[in-house]
Amino acid sequence: MMGEQLVLGLDLGGTNMVGAALTTEGELVAKSKMTTEASGGLEHVLGRMADCLEGVLEKSGRKREDVLAAGVGAPGPLNQETGVVYTPPNLPGWKDVPLADELNKRLNIAVFIENDANCAAYGENWLGAGRDFKDLICLTLGTGVGGGIILNNELVRGVDGTAGEIGHLIIEMNGRRCNCGSYGCLEQYGSATGIVTTAREIIEQGEKTVLTEMVSDLSKLTAKDVSVAMERGDELARRVITQTGEFLGVGIASLVNLLNPEVVVLCGGVIAAGEALFKPIRETVEKRAFPVPSKRARIVPSVLGDDAGVTGAAGVALSRAQRSSE
């Protein structure tokens, strides 16, 4: 019976949303992508979210009665228990939105919400790079650094649901200023933003690089420019990626000492740098973490890629629906 039911997932971003329908066994049945149109305001976005989920259900060719539950991965801060999203910076007009209830009202389906980085971690654990493991740490390396921690196949949420903020591990106590108000957070070193900062710091020392030819105004430099320069054989760009890997390695070494996980999964746009990034990460962890946990922790790229979040959102819905029916 359970195998015939569906779970829906929705990954809500500031620009796009992705919906998916999966069987409870984790088989993808349908998927659909829409723009978020965040500037349209709360009601507009809620309507689009409902449309996206309706659309994916229709695409699946199944009926509402077949749906066990839906899960939404949303930018935090949020409360998983009450289903309320507080004030996500990328969604103007959102304040203390009872998202789970609002969608439930529109869809007549049980809805659960979860932090988007936690969803990515859960997705990788359910069906991705961490599927054979029970203790996993996931870092999403995009504009910022997000994270999710899974122990014993369960998300570590903490008492208020805010746990997993790996981007705000302090790796350099008097380091770069972070948007969170602190200094030296991993996010300022291991994200696309961090790559740009590191590149600018090195360029300002007057070293030669194609980046100064590619980008006339360095205040407009992007992480993508750095990748392109590296592909073109630029030494400085490669060094920026190596340093970024070392920075990430420092943070991951701390996590490995702290939690002794089986696997550390890296997701997000930044991992496109491939071995140029993973090699210094692995070398740094090996050098800086204790031998036993360092040898244990595989450090691997995401298998689900952009689908980690939506897959995990569906997985969270499945897990919570099963738990609440126990």
Binding residues for a second copy, rule: CB under 8 A, are 77, 134-135, 149, 151, 156-166, 168-174, 180-183, 247, 250-251, 253-254, 257-262, 287-290, 292-293, 296
DSSP secondary structure letters along 107-133:
H-S-EEEEEHHHHHHHHHHHHSTTTT-
- For a second copy, which is the closer residue by CB, 262 or 306? 262
Nearer to a second copy, 126 or 189 (CB): 189
Contacts of 274 (CB under 8 A, 6+ apart): none
Task: Pick the closest to residue 262 from 148, 135, 171 (CA basis).
Answer: 135
In terms of CB distance, is 10 or 185 closer to a second copy?
Answer: 185
Query: Between 1 and 173, whose beta carbon lies closer to a second copy?
Result: 173
Least distance between a second copy and beta carbon 322 (Å) = 18
CB nearer to a second copy: give 60 or 243: 243
* Tokens coding 29: 């049945």
Can you read off the two tokens belonging to residue 218?
């360095």
Alpha carbons 287 and 257: distance in angstroms, whole number? 12
Least Å from the CB of residue 11 to a second copy: 23
Instruction: Tell the smallest beta-carbon distance from residue 275 to a second copy (Å).
Output: 22
Tell me, what amino acid is at 32? S
Cβ proximity to a second copy, 215 vs 263, nearer residue: 263
Smallest distance from a second copy to CB 30, Å: 35
Can you tell me whether residue 168 is helix, strand or coil?
A: helix
Owner of token pair 């701390």:
254
Least distance (Å) between residue 184 CB and a second copy: 8
Residue 151: its H or E element: strand 145-151
DSSP 232-292: TT-HHHHHHHHHHHHHHHHHHHHHHHHH--SEEEEESGGGGGTHHHHHHHHHHHHHHS-HH
CA 119/CA 310 separation, integer angstroms:
7
Q: Look at residues 96, 108, 123, 17 and name the one whose alpha carbon lies nearest to residue 70.
A: 108
CB of 117 to a second copy, least distance (A): 12
Q: Find all residues with CB under 8 Å of 12, minimum gap 6, and list them.
A: 36, 45, 49, 72, 73, 74, 75, 116
Give the residue with the Cβ less far from a second copy, 83 or 293: 293
Residue 124 CB, shortest distance to a second copy, in Å, is 17
Q: How far is the CB of 21 from a second copy (least distance, A)?
A: 32
Nearer to a second copy, 180 or 272 (CB): 180
The nearer residue to a second copy, 88 or 261, going by C-beta atoms, is 261
CB of 263 to a second copy, least distance (A): 10
Give, in order, the Cα–Cα distances in Å from 155 to each of 1, 18, 148, 210, 217: 26, 22, 7, 43, 43
